């Protein structure tokens, strides 16, 4: 994609350069290669652009051990109220109401007879 850099307007190219237009867009607009764009930057003394590769990267920390994870988990859970603990529980407790059934004496005797026959 080599093009002719002799016909490029310095002012127009500088304006595009200062807008931080992506390198690919600069190459396509002026029909020149990336190497030619870099050469023009040096020839025309254009200011440096924001190069993402040169950004300061945060220092990467080591991954915590399972013991450290468990300790931190316990510390966090110690601060939870009972409502928060219930909200974060995986298996939620369900309110249960039991229906009371009145049994007649005959039914109760039959149940006791049957229960006596069952071997635990």
Domain boundaries, the chain: 10-51
| Cα separation, 23 vs 45, whole angstroms | 17
Looking from the CA of 43 toward its CB, the CA atoms found within 13 Å total 11
Residue 35: count of CB within 10 angstroms of its CB: 10
Residue 27: count of CB within 10 angstroms of its CB: 18
Q: State pLDDT tens for residues 102-115.
A: 878 887 777 777 76
Global confidence as pTM? 0.41
Q: State pLDDT tens for residues 34-66.
A: 899 989 999 999 988 776 666 667 788 889 999
Of 117 and 5, the structure prediction assigns the larger pLDDT to: 5
């Amino acid at each position: 994609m080599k093009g002719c850099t002799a016909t490029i307007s310095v002012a127009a190219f500088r304006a595009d350069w200062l807008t931080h237009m992506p390198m690919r867009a600069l190459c396509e607009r002026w029909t020149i290669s990336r190497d030619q764009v870099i050469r023009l930057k040096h020839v025309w003394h254009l200011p440096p652009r924001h190069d993402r590769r040169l950004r300061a990267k945060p220092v990467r920390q080591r991954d915590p051990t399972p013991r450290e994870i468990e300790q931190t988990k316990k510390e966090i859970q110690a601060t939870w109220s009972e409502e928060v603990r219930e909200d974060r529980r995986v298996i939620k407790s369900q309110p249960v109401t039991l229906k009371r059934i009145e049994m007649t004496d005959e039914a109760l005797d039959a149940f006791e007879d049957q229960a006596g026959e069952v071997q635990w």
